[in-house]
Amino acid sequence: MLSILRRRVALLTGDLLIATVVTAATLSAWGVSLLVESHAGQHVDLVVMTVALSVTLARNQLERPARPPWLLLAVPPAAALASFVGSQMARDHRLGDVLFVVVLSVAVWVRRFGPGCTTLGTLTTLPLVAALITPYVPEGEIERASWSAVLGATSALITLLCLTAARRLAPAHFPGTTAPRPSDRPAASRNLSPSTRMAIQLAGALVLGFAIGRHVNSDHWQWPVLTAYIVSSANQGRGDVLYKGIQRGLGAGLGTVVAALLTGIFGIGDHRAVACIFVVLWFALAVRRASYAYWAGSVTAALALVYGFFGDGGTAVLGQRLEGIGLGAVAGIAVTWLVLPIRTEDVLRRRMGALLEALQNLLVALGENPSSVGADQVRPVVVASVAITRVMQPLTARGRWLRRLRLRDHWEPVIPAADLCAEKSRTLVRFVRTTREPLDHERISVAQAQTVQNLTGLRQSLRSRERADVRPVLSGVPDEGATGQVLTLLHVIDEAAVRMTATVSQPVAAKRSQSGSPG
């Protein structure tokens, strides 16, 4: 109980620190954009673009830092491109809408070429999404694009400086590296890769969102487009899209209602609304881990306050915005469920494979040179465990309803088993590096080799969906001292990996049961 409490306190502290750092970066970029607006004769739309870009860029870099950092150089040209596309959407919406759909879809499709292209595509996407919510001001396209590039570069530089300082002051909460992304190759040559499927789905959802926005809700066409993008982008299977769509609809609806009431209090052009926007953004970042609905509601409230600041708010447009959000969510869900759907189970298999691979690499490194193993080897295990938790969110929500109906949930063991793998891996590395008791390295080597062999078999089972040939890893006993503790940790990691994998590959444990292993 005490360890769980400490972990939750640590997570809460980390969330508050992350929210504070992102808000600090956003406020700094906002101050620079105000100087540009006042001294360079520009318009307030650039201020809105800078704030939106800064908060999304800082949050993205905290979760997936650009490797190498010079990839942030993609932000200024992407901001200029976003400015051009935004002006086209206002002047000639047919051309602008097509450009928007094509650029965002290509940014997703290039993920198939590796982590560098994935980061590049994400950085290109951020200014475009920011342009979607930026009020349009008629101005020369070259001048507007130039200033957008300058402020994009400013946002990237400020974000990099703030995050670098945060990592130096609190390295435990702001890690500088992340685990490598799992391979994005199709299981068979006749199948489309996940990135291609996601690009086609995103294009379809955006086209439908634009059609709804332009013809059903033309005064607020951005809302269905933005919602369709949020629901369908970075989807992790049909269950994730449905879950995110419902959360987005509920959260955004509540956020819009709250913001509409606040806008009526502040009035048009009231600078107190600006302070309220930053408070709402800080709150959104602080609670984003608790539920996506909180994040969606807070960000939607901030956007509604922005529009209210420019005179487009109040209860008069409340119904139109709620209609746009609801239709956008339906569009995103419908396309991702009907067009080249991605099964949640397939995504979960890939995430499990990534966790098993990280565990295998950790144990191999631990067997070769225990003194050199540290956070860099453990972090991929932890990140892969968190990735499984994210995929499991819709399944976990379904499980809660099944338990209320007193029905058994097949997926229930996955998250505890994945978390157990990460927790015991950290404990194993810490214990091996710090213990001063003599170890029976021969017995540990045998157990470590068998665990690695079992992990290899489990990974093959996930790919082939055939029975895995796994053998029991003997546990230690208390009388064996440090050797017994290491053997017990290896046994627990092995058992947790088997239990986790068995949820999607039922034959996994069959051969193990024949060997007489418990569980």
Residue 191 pLDDT: 67
- Distance, in Å, from the CA atom of 145 to the CA atom of 119, rounded to the nearest integer, reads 22
Please say whether the beta carbons of 318 and 256 come within 8 A: yes
> Phi and psi of 133, rounded to 5°?
-105, 5
Distance CA 113, CA 34 (A): 39
368: number of Cβ within 10 Å: 9
pLDDT at 478 over 70: no
Could you tell me which residue, 459 or 207, shows the higher pLDDT? 207
Q: Which residue has the tokens 């769509």?
A: 245
Q: Does residue 282 carry a pLDDT above 80?
A: yes
Q: How far apart are alpha carbons 202 and 243 in whole angstroms?
A: 17
* 263: its two tokens: 């806008």
pLDDT tens, residue by residue, 254-269: 887 777 777 667 767 7
For residue 178, the model assigns a pLDDT of 46
Q: For the chain, first and last CA: distance in Å?
A: 25
Higher pLDDT, 191 or 381: 381
Q: Is the Cβ–Cβ distance between 452 and 471 less than 8 Å?
A: no
Alpha helix stretches (DSSP H) within 435-480: 441-464
Cα 168 to the center of its chain, rounded Å: 23
Most confident of 30-44, 420-434, 472-486: 420-434
Mean pLDDT of 134-148: 75
Scan for tokens 């949640």, then name that residue: 344
Q: What is the mean pLDDT of the chain?
A: 79
DSSP 202-227: HHHHHHHHHHHHHHT-GGGTHHHHHH
Alpha helices for 139-237 (secondary structure H): 141-169, 194-215, 222-232
What are the pLDDT digits (tens) for 178-200?
444 444 443 433 467 888 888 99
- The encoded tokens of residue 174 equal 């702001």
pLDDT score at 378: 80
Confidence of residue 422 (pLDDT cuts 50, 70, 90): confident
pLDDT for residue 514 = 39
Higher pLDDT: 65 or 360? It is 360
In angstroms, the CA 219 to CA 323 distance is 12
**Cα–Cα distance between 264 and 292 in angstroms, integer?**
27
pLDDT value at residue 182: 45
Residue 411 has pLDDT above 70, yes or no: yes
Q: Is the pLDDT of residue 292 over 80?
A: no
CA-CA-CA-CA torsion sign (97, 102, 103, 107): positive
Q: Is the pTM of the predicted complex or chain greater than 0.85?
A: no
Whether the per-residue pLDDT at 1 is higher than 50: the answer is: no
